[in-house]
Amino acid sequence: MIQGYFGSKGELFFEIELIAADGSRIIVDALLDTGFTDWLAIDTQDAESLGWRFQEQEESRTALGVATFNLYQGAVCLDDQEMKVPVVVGDGIPEILIGLPWLEDRRLVVDRIFSSFYSRVNLPVNIY
């Protein structure tokens, strides 16, 4: 089970680990984008600093139209499970995104607690 939280605009963030080519790890908050149909998206500078390898180019439809992105192979750890995933990489990607494939074998449960000062959510993601 992993826990996430709501951002100031109601977006859902989860803590994941990015695993660099040298084995070092960095913990980041990733935005769950339910309109994103790939595993992970990050900025070019981040992918290169992690030492991830370029695989190929891919055209994808975005809210702004069709764009060309580079595909890298990256390694991540989510809920104590390490895996290699294809990563969509481009210049100017402002947030690390995780997409719908993360939910293919996980269940997302959201209980949002509201108060005038605090909004936090526990998001269990169960692997079956």
Phi/psi at 110 (5° precision): -120, 125
Q: Which of 105, 72, 107, 87 minimizes the C-alpha distance to 28? A: 87
Lowest mean pLDDT among 9-18, 51-60, 87-96, 100-109: 100-109
Mean pLDDT of 40-55: 97
pLDDT for 99 beyond 60: yes
pLDDT for 101 beyond 80: yes
Q: Which domain covers residue 75, as residue numbers?
A: 4-127
Segment 8-46, tens digit of pLDDT:
787 889 999 999 999 999 999 999 998 888 999 999 999
* Number of domains the chain contains: 1
Higher pLDDT, 4 or 33: 33
Distance CA 22, CA 128 (A): 31
Q: Identify whether the C-beta of residue 80 lies closer than 8 Å to the C-beta of residue 16.
A: no
> To the nearest whole number, what is the mean pLDDT of the chain?
85
Q: What is the pLDDT of residue 125?
A: 42
Higher pLDDT, 54 or 115: 54
Distance CA 125, CA 4 (A): 9
Whole-number percent of the chain with pLDDT over 90: 49
Mean pLDDT of 54-80: 89
Q: Which of 112, 70, 74 minimizes the C-alpha distance to 91? A: 70
Query: What is the CATH number for 117?
Result: 2.40.70.10
